[in-house]
Amino acid sequence: MLINCRRALVSAMAGVAGVVGAQLGPGDVAIVAVNTDDDSFAWVALRDVPAGSTLHFTDSSVSNGLFRWSEHLGDVVSHGPLDWTSPADLPAGTVVRWNRASREWSVGVAAGAALTLSTDGDQVIVYTGAIVNNTALAAPWTGDPTGAVMLAAANIANKGWDNLTGGTTETSFVPPGLSTSGGTAVHLGSQDDAYYSGPCRGTPVQLRAWMADISEWKTSNDAFAVTNWPAAFDVLPTTQGTFYSIR
């Protein structure tokens, strides 16, 4: 049965309780919508995210595993990244939307600087920890992610992750620790707005596989209304047949 992603789903969440408290890792969240026209986007938690967690979002480009420090990280105009912090546990399946106009998250607390996305190509990269300015490296690629863990990334309005050394702000390597084959780094096509329109009920592995398939997205050069974006997901336990406590 096709699940309507725009309808809020009541999620049987006991199945993912076992990962609460573990560090967030690649694929634990996913980008589900990007409008480069109005610099808004949305992501979904594919596991429970513990209260107090902070996620960072940047549109900085990557070259050979290093970030362009002057691009939405250490630039003097708008110091990045954009931060999201949750005062409460965020259940798996929750979609969190960034509203650039009001500079608010739909859930959670904002800090840092908003992303300014290019309609000629850009990326949204989610991570925990810190990317720091390592001046021992060659500028502009001094953004050192040694202390960061990449969670997810989406490339849009270009030809895809290009892996060309020293690219522009509109292109990027796949961020370190992520992969296109694992569905943790996705390409949303050559048009500049996109949202995921595929199935919204599945295991994290299934959902990432669908999200990595551009045919499961709607894309356009006109910004989509937020009401088109997926509203919630039903994230099923990865391990079937395991007993979980009843809460």
- Which residues make up the interface to Ca ion (CB under 5 A)? 37, 59, 122, 169, 192, 221
Residues 101 and 94 sit within 8 Å (Cβ to Cβ): no
The smaller minimum CB distance to Ca ion, of residues 99 and 206, is found at 99
What length is written for the chain?
247
1 Cβ contact list (under 8 Å, min separation 6): none
**Residue 173: CB minimum distance to Ca ion, A:** 13
Residues 172 and 123 sit within 8 Å (Cβ to Cβ): yes
Q: Cα–Cα distance between 29 and 112 in angstroms, integer?
A: 20
**Residue 192: CB minimum distance to Ca ion, A:** 4
**Residue 92: CB minimum distance to Ca ion, A:** 29
CA distances from 73 to 48, 146, 174, 222 (A): 27, 15, 17, 28
The smaller minimum CB distance to Ca ion, of residues 46 and 126, is found at 126
**Residue 43: CB minimum distance to Ca ion, A:** 17
The smaller minimum CB distance to Ca ion, of residues 2 and 101, is found at 101
Q: Cα–Cα distance between 71 and 61 in angstroms, integer?
A: 7
The smaller minimum CB distance to Ca ion, of residues 81 and 202, is found at 81
At residue 232, φ and ψ (nearest 5 deg) are: -165, 155
Indicate the pairing of strand 201-202 with strand 234-235.
Answer: parallel
> Which ranges constitute the DSSP H helices of the chain?
204-211
- Can you name the residues that pair with 30 across neighbouring β-strands? 44
Q: Cα–Cα distance between 73 and 35 in angstroms, integer?
A: 20
**Residue 37: CB minimum distance to Ca ion, A:** 4
The smaller minimum CB distance to Ca ion, of residues 4 and 221, is found at 221
Q: Which helix (H) or strand (E) holds 205?
A: helix 204-211
Give the residue nearest to Ca ion (CB): 59
The smaller minimum CB distance to Ca ion, of residues 61 and 128, is found at 61
**Residue 71: CB minimum distance to Ca ion, A:** 5
